[in-house]
Amino acid sequence: MNKTFLAIMLAFAAGFLFQSNVFAQNKEMTMLERAAKEADRLADLLDLDDWQVFKVDSTLQNDYTAFEAEIQSLKDAKVENSNLYIRVQDKWMEQIYNSYKSFFNEAQWAKYLKSGAGREAKARAKRRKSYGEE
């Protein structure tokens, strides 16, 4: 009876570890897939050149990774203030916004702003002002 129980527990533990490893890999893939999907979306929306798609994808991979790391550090520190999480998100979204501005041409930038990015930038600025940052 004890051997059966031990065997079940070992099987359960092995399954849990395997599932955790698969989940961790899927999380990483999800971040990379999100960056690629957004790069493809912007490529179609803005008629980006290949080099611009590469820049968008690189920007997103870098900034999403840094954003997730900063959010994780807040979680690890057990920060409960939701405004701090929003400020971190705003910081990285502003970083992405400014990166795009540096390599989109005028027509692409205008279309990007009209697609909702302009509204989001105004909302970030309004939140910064409410925090006393501007």
Residue 96 forms part of a structural domain: yes
CA distances to 74, 116, 123 from 86, in Å: 11, 18, 12
Tell me if 5 is assigned to some domain.
Answer: no
pTM: 0.74
Q: 3-state SS string over the chain?
A: CHHHHHHHHHHHHHHHHHHHHHHHHHHHHHHHHHHHHHHHHHHHHHCCCHHHHHHHHHHHHHHHHHHHHHHHHHHHCCCCCHHHHHHHHHHHHHHHHHHHHHHCCHHHHHHHHHHHHHHHHHHHHHHHHHCCCC
Domain count, the chain: 1
- Indicate whether 22 belongs to any domain: no
| 106-129 average pLDDT score | 95
Query: 1 lies in a domain?
Result: no
Per the domain annotation, does 87 fall within a domain? yes
- Residue 19 inside a domain? The answer is no
Taking residues 49-64, report their average pLDDT: 95
pLDDT more than 90, % of the chain: 64
| Domain encompassing residue 108 | 33-130
Average the pLDDT over 84-99 and give the result.
Answer: 94
Average pLDDT over residues 37-66: 95
Indicate whether 12 belongs to any domain.
no
Q: Is residue 56 part of a domain?
A: yes
* pLDDT score, position 3: 54
Asked if the model's pLDDT at residue 13 lies above 90, the reply is no
pLDDT at 126 over 60: yes
